[in-house]
Chain A
Amino acid sequence: MPRAEDGDRAELASGGARDSRRVIAHADMDAFYASVEMLDNPELRGRPVIVGGGSNRGVVSSASYEARHFGVRSAMPTVEARRLCPEGVFVRGRMDRYAEISRRIREIFLSFSPIVEPLSLDEAFIDLTGTERLLGEPLEAARALKRRVLEGTGLVASIGVAPVKMAAKILSDMSKPDGLLAIGPEHLREFLDPLPVERLWGVGSVTLERMHRAGIRLIGDLARRDAGELRSLFGSFGPQLRELALGRDPRPVIADWERKSYGEENTFERDLEAGSDELARALIAHAEALGRRLRADRVAARTITLKLKLARPLGGGRYPLLTRSLSLDAPTDDGAAIMRAVRSLLARAANGEKIRLAGVQAHNLERSDPRQLGLFDPAAANSAARNVRLNRALDAVTRRFGEDAVTRGLAHAERAAPTHRIK
């Protein structure tokens, strides 16, 4: 069983055998955006704070625990949140500020282990394997991590510790608020079996419905099914889910600089035409934001993906999702180059459709190592040189005055909702 912070049963394996075993922590900030707002504005403390898009089409991105008492949840439409919690303090998100605090938190994580995989601004996996000699028992290390985050930022993190990523994430979620749960490898199955199957990553509403029809309600039900049977029911996804249900999740924690992709997206206040200037503006803003993040992390992307959610509903609150990708000749960290790719993708997708959500992603990342410029590639070098200078200047202005201080041409328009980092 998971072990609570102040429990006294040693759940984590001890002794030499542990050397070959992984210790993965998942740290998740409690009501992150709302907590930052309360931190910066003490008057908000103790009140139901709801951070989200300012308009009625937006969704709640974060709700304080006081607001959650009223049933407000993140990803809930703002309209519904207002209905549930009329006295709530609705705050428009300040992504720059959250990003700043997020960097501080990440530095604290990095002082515990070099292998930190951020999932978003407020969530990260930290690989504590092999840190025992330095940091003590994993539970001790996790306790110290919680304390250091609180001391360093005034914010509370909930932490789960397990031999696999999937379980660590479930544990941090279960431990909230202000919790710490850890489990060792020998109790993993015992812990997972009685949990509802939707706790597993990848089990969405469609899969869940089919699972229920097949009589699978708990993770243990899934674990006990035959792999072949699951394949016939769910395709190749079936046996994969069964592996997770058995506590087998070989995915390593991937350090930030090895991350796979970056993404920016937003849902529009009203549906937009595929060929409209407004859509182009939003995409430019995304492309520029991506470029900034790539440059800040000193990486460049070779593949650019355009993601569009179409406005015509499929029913059940779902909409058709289109993704189109393009590989570039050379990796880029330049917003204008990303936008060029996006434009050519847009031309091939969604003709005449109305668009509900648009996003841009960058994958296939390479580290931008020191780059010797060449003498004889004038056109390329000169324009690259101009872009580098322009981007540096833009980044400097953005750092000082915020993301809306400077935008490229079309992108200056009002943004329906703040660009959200999705990866």
Chain B
Amino acid sequence: MELVIDRVSLLNGLGMVQGIVERRNTVPILGHVLLEPEDNRLRLSATDLEVGIRTEIACSRADKGGLTLNARKLFEVVREAEGEEVTLKSLEGDWFELRCGRARFKMMGLDPRSFPAMPAQASKQEPLGGRKAVKGELTIACEALAAMIDRTIFAVSPDEARYNLSGVYIEAADGNGVRMVATDGHRLAMVDREAAGFNMQGGAIIPRKGLAELRKLLDQAGENEVKLSLDGQLAWLKRGSSEVSMRLVEGEFPDYRGVVPKESRYQIPVGREALLRAIKRAMIFSNERYHGVKLAFSAGSITVSSASPEVGEASETLDIEFGGADFSIGFNAAYLQQALNVIPADTEAILGLSNEVSPGVIRTPADSQFTYVVMPMRL
């Protein structure tokens, strides 16, 4: 068997699958990429059993027969090699030879028949148990979906034990819309977009890792509209010659509606850029473990400050429109920073605050459908 592939195309294809290749090497085959030639196309597949990615690239000459190779090593070889084309040829046993320019590499493959099926193929046969199957097709502009992911995914819980918070929740919003919500229990990010014809019973939790891979796909060249399919325990999205599929997170997403304050005592507009910079500066002296910063409001100003015993202190006062009684509130600086990061620069952030122990709300006129709720910190 022999394949001749354009080096840059192969590098791009391998780059796409790197994100989900198993790094820990506990199951060797999960560290491999499956290469399947067919009619002058070469299909690359990788999976960690939860998320799967497939992409196709052109292949100038291909004999039949699949093979697997260590995905990271192959990526490094192709990246470091020089020359226009890569030639891949099977040797004796499980060995393959790769030539590029004047360099020659020998790599060992594994039996391609032992390569696991993509989540999309695997779970279709699995019974659903007692769970209700979600079923929906979201057709949406590529950049709208990208914005929704960017404005929620950062709030997903990093704690894998809290599995029902380990992804972004998606559901149909009132009146031809789609909503995504993410929370780690301390803050919550929520965004709506219009999505004509999107209809889905209940909601689904899309795992963070799979959604991050899906997000990468949206940056690739392709049609302006994409289709995200949700079916049973699966979600998948195709774009161009690539497809990412994933198992949905099982579990109940918490009742997020109850924690979004209906109203706040104060609505305080603050320049996004100035506030973000002040917070970043205050973070230098906030406690390393808790990242606490204090926002002190008084007529016409907000003072952002931090203090770390035996290390130092920071404080900065910004002029704002505020006419209420003096009060101050503590927050995890990272929670504020991440929310401000997804608000467009040169716009305002509207801080909705009531008192030092009630949830704060951050919104922006630049995206009226974005809501961020953050619980204060007792400093």
Q: Which positions in A face B, CB cutoff 8 Å?
A: 368-376, 378, 381, 384-385, 388-389
Contacts and interface: CB of A to CB of B under 8 A. Distances in A.
Contacts of B379: 370
A371 B183 CA distance: 18
Given A370-B292, A389-B355, A375 B373 contact: yes
Contact of A372 (B258, B259, B356, B375): B375
A389 B357 contact: yes
B260 to A, nearest CB: 9
Interface in B330-375: 330, 332, 355-359, 373, 375
B373 A373 contact: no
B376 interface: yes
Contacts of B356: 389
B358 A374 contact: no
B202 interface: no
B181 to A, nearest CB: 12
17 contacts: A369-B289, A371-B377, A372-B377, A373-B186, A373-B357, A373-B376, A375-B186, A375-B188, A375-B375, A376-B183, A376-B185, A376-B259, A378-B258, A381-B375, A385-B357, A389-B355, A389-B356
A373 B360 CA distance: 11
A373 B375 contact: yes
B187 interface: yes
A373 B185 contact: no
A-B interface, 7 closest residue pairs, ranked by CB to CB distance from nearest: A385-B357, A373-B375, A370-B290, A371-B378, A375-B259, A370-B292, A372-B377
A25 to B, nearest CB: 23
B240 interface: no
A372 B373 CA distance: 13
B287 interface: yes
Contacts of B158: none
Contacts of B185: 374-376
A369 B290 contact: yes
B254 interface: yes
Given A376-B185, A376-B254, A385-B357, A370 B287 contact: yes
Interface in B257-291: 258-259, 287, 289-290
Range of interface residues on B (Cβ < 8 Å): 20 to 34
B379 to A, nearest CB: 5
Nearest to B374: A375
A388 B292 CA distance: 18
A384 B292 CA distance: 19
Contacts of B188: 375
A375 B290 contact: no
Contacts of A370: 287, 290, 292, 330, 377-379
Contacts of B375: 372-375, 381
A373 B377 contact: yes
A372 B254 CA distance: 19
A376 B185 CA distance: 6
Nearest to A378: B258
A372 B186 contact: yes
A389 B378 CA distance: 11
Given A372-B375, A374-B375, A375-B187, 10 more contacts: A370-B379, A371-B378, A373-B376, A374-B186, A375-B185, A375-B259, A376-B183, A376-B185, A388-B378, A389-B357
A376 B373 CA distance: 12
A165 B358 CA distance: 47
B17 to A, nearest CB: 36
A384 B378 CA distance: 11
Contacts of A368: 378
Nearest to B165: A376
Contacts of B254: 376
Given A369-B290, A389-B357, A375 B376 contact: no
A11 B82 CA distance: 82
Contacts of B186: 372-375
Contacts of B373: 375
A385 B358 contact: yes
A247 B323 CA distance: 65
B155 to A, nearest CB: 11
A378 B357 CA distance: 12
Contacts of A384: 357
A372 B290 contact: yes
A172 B379 CA distance: 39
Nearest to A388: B357
B183 to A, nearest CB: 6
Interface string B287-300: 10110100000000
A348 to B, nearest CB: 33
A152 to B, nearest CB: 23
Nearest to A386: B357
Nearest to A389: B357
Contacts of A376: 183, 185, 254, 259
Nearest to B332: A372
Nearest to A374: B185
Contacts of B187: 375
Interface string B166-198: 000000000000000001011110000000000
A374 B357 CA distance: 10
A291 to B, nearest CB: 15
Given A370-B330, A389-B357, A375 B183 contact: yes
A361 B290 CA distance: 30
Contacts of A389: 355-357
A417 to B, nearest CB: 34
Nearest to B359: A375
Contacts of B378: 368, 370-371, 373, 388
Contacts of A369: 289-290
B174 to A, nearest CB: 22
B279 to A, nearest CB: 16
A330 to B, nearest CB: 14
A383 to B, nearest CB: 11
A371 B378 CA distance: 5
A374 B258 CA distance: 13
Contacts of B259: 375-376, 378
Contacts of A388: 357, 378
Contacts of A372: 186, 290, 332, 375, 377
B258 to A, nearest CB: 7
